[in-house]
Chains A and B, each alone.
Chain A
Amino acid sequence: MILALSGSTDYFSMAVFSPEYQLLGEFGILTKKLQKWGILAVENLLKSVEIELRELKIIAIDTGPGKFTGLRIAVALAKTLAFSLGLPMLEYSSLDLIRSQIASDKSVLVALDGKQGRVFSKFYDPVKGDSEIYDLEPELLLEKMKIRSFDPDYTLGDGFLTYPILNAIKKPGTEHFFFYPKAAWIFPGVAPQHYQRVNPRYYRKTQAEEAKDAHSGN
């Protein structure tokens, strides 16, 4: 069985899958309640699908990018499950989880609210290839799209809820509800790895590091 967790946004989700990636059950709480209720939520999910801890064979985790605290608690929880149960881990990007909800032949822009006036984003382009992950202000993201001549079929992620300026690129008839990554959206084809290699992917330096870089002209 696979237990998957995602805590990179305001919504913490968990899901249990069969070894064949058949979804057996899912559950979610607000990420701000994760510290208090996270373990109880996992316990309840396992109970509801009648699966015991010893039946878990893999722990899957969304490693971001996203909101730092939720991301860190979810990854700490997932890594400790893997550490104490001796299980391998599957690592997913929060942006890839959202993108997985749209057909692979469509071009997609995923933008997650990264706070501090910025979004974490990635261009999924079936023709030219996918971009790296960007941490940009919405205006700069639009500029980058122009430079790359990227005109996505779909725009996903809660960045579009937070920053209305981004909605200018939304195409009519592409309404959806794919704003937050969900643990239930993990997909096959990811290689298992040792828990020690799995860590949150922040894609942003701390404010102190950024201030230091700015001071030294980097």
Chain B
Amino acid sequence: MRILGIETSCDETSAAVVVDGRNILSNVVFTQIPFHKEFSGVVPELASRKHMEIIHPVIEEALQKAGLSLGEIDAIAVTQEPGLMGSLLVGLTVAKTLAFTTGKPLIPVNHIMAHVYAANLGESELEFPFIGLIVSGGHTLLTLWESWTHYRIVGSTIDDAVGEAYDKVAKIMGLGYPGGPEVDKLAKKGNSNAIDLPLVMLNYQNDRYNFSYSGLKTAVVYYLQRHSDYQLEDLAASFQKKAIDILLKKTLLLSEDLKIKRVVIAGGVAANSYLREIFTQAPLDLFIPSLALCTDNAAMVAGLGYHLQQLTQKGAFSQDARDKVITKEFKKALRQDKM
């Protein structure tokens, strides 16, 4: 089955063709980072405008690289949630219209879950069950997967996402955008034990698998306000160590509790070099997507779409975009262990 995937949830415009959920025929990604860089972050309205300008040429290129015409596609998978509303709307409208004109099924896909699926686009096929750690600018989630259609969110951040903390810290340190790679680059030259920043464990029973990054971020702000004789490299390395170490500690905790060693790490922060280093050394069967598939891309959307298509009704044109899947109510319920 040949699926055309479309991804426009944030600042990458992407289209891909994937066969039977595994074989990537094409994966075209147009990054908007140069346009957002001067604003030190993604400007939602600007992102929507750029998606609108570029989405059709990106789809055309993906079809061309795959050597297929639109008529030879069997289904269209699209990111429906979560993301920037204006950006999601562009991709979803284009996908719905393509499904309408070709008479092919429309498969709405959750962007976060697609990030986990990216680990299945490597050489070997993933086996269930496994733990999924999703780390990006919008999410920090611990998930448990029993199949591609059955997963459960076990833990989440109660405030900032890890990638968000990276971007904010990079901004206050006067580094460029996106913050993650900038902090990572600088951290490699620093001493991660030079500055004592807090490791926010959240030891309460209901927060066993949850995360918090606002305290760490605030500690960096206070440190910068109160000190002048420090090396920026040391601060970057000390922040990075605490931000990433907590991800490993909580993942190991869940792994031990569930007796599941297989772990997938997905999302933009999975590209972080320190994260890759310490997780690789941990007693886990680790699956991390290739660097190219860690950032937003449509191959992961088309791939997961293959497994979701059986759940999809033909011509489901009234699908709405959704900007959030982790709502405040969800977080509250998660902390009260009602999930």
Binding site for B on A (CB under 8 A): 35-40, 42-43, 53, 68-69, 72-73, 75-77, 79-81, 83-85, 195-196, 199-200, 202, 206-209, 212
A69 to B, closest residue via Cβ: B86
B337 within 8 A of A: no
Partner of A35, one of B38, B48, B52, B89: B89
7 contacts between A and B (CB under 8 A): A36-B318, A76-B94, A81-B101, A84-B102, A207-B45, A208-B46, A212-B38
Also in contact, A72 and B90, with CB within 8 A (given A81-B97, A209-B46): yes
Partner of A39, one of B43, B49, B53, B96: B96
A206 to B, closest residue via Cβ: B45
A196 touches B56 (CB 8 A): yes
Consensus secondary structure, chain B interface: helix
Q: Please measure, in the bound complex, the distance between the C-alpha atom of A195 and the C-alpha atom of B49, giving whole angstroms.
A: 16
Partner of A76, one of B93, B100, B317, B318: B93
Q: Please measure, in the bound complex, the distance between the C-alpha atom of A35 and the C-alpha atom of B318, giving whole angstroms.
A: 8
B98 within 8 A of A: yes
Provide the residues of chain A in CB contact with B52, threshold 8 Å. 72, 75-76, 199-200
Q: Please measure, in the bound complex, the distance between the C-alpha atom of A53 and the C-alpha atom of B98, giving whole angstroms.
A: 12
Q: Please measure, in the bound complex, the distance between the C-alpha atom of A206 and the C-alpha atom of B48, giving whole angstroms.
A: 11
List the count of A-B residue pairs having beta carbons below 8 Å apart: 85
A80 touches B48 (CB 8 A): no
Also in contact, A35 and B92, with CB within 8 A (given A40-B318, A76-B97, A208-B46): yes
Partner of A208, one of B39, B96, B97: B39
Also in contact, A35 and B320, with CB within 8 A (given A76-B97, A84-B97): yes
Q: Please measure, in the bound complex, the distance between the C-alpha atom of A51 and the C-alpha atom of B319, giving whole angstroms.
A: 25
B34 within 8 A of A: no
A39 touches B317 (CB 8 A): yes
Provide the residues of chain A in CB contact with B318, threshold 8 Å. 36-37, 40
Q: Please measure, in the bound complex, the distance between the C-alpha atom of A195 and the C-alpha atom of B52, giving whole angstroms.
A: 12
B90 touches A76 (CB 8 A): yes
Q: Please measure, in the bound complex, the distance between the C-alpha atom of A199 and the C-alpha atom of B55, giving whole angstroms.
A: 11
A80 touches B46 (CB 8 A): no
A202 to B, closest residue via Cβ: B49
Q: Please measure, in the bound complex, the distance between the C-alpha atom of A83 and the C-alpha atom of B55, giving whole angstroms.
A: 11
B97 touches A206 (CB 8 A): no
Q: Please measure, in the bound complex, the distance between the C-alpha atom of A44 and the C-alpha atom of B213, giving whole angstroms.
A: 50
B339 within 8 A of A: no
Residue in A76, A84, A199, A209 whose Cβ sees the most chain B Cβ within 10 Å = A76
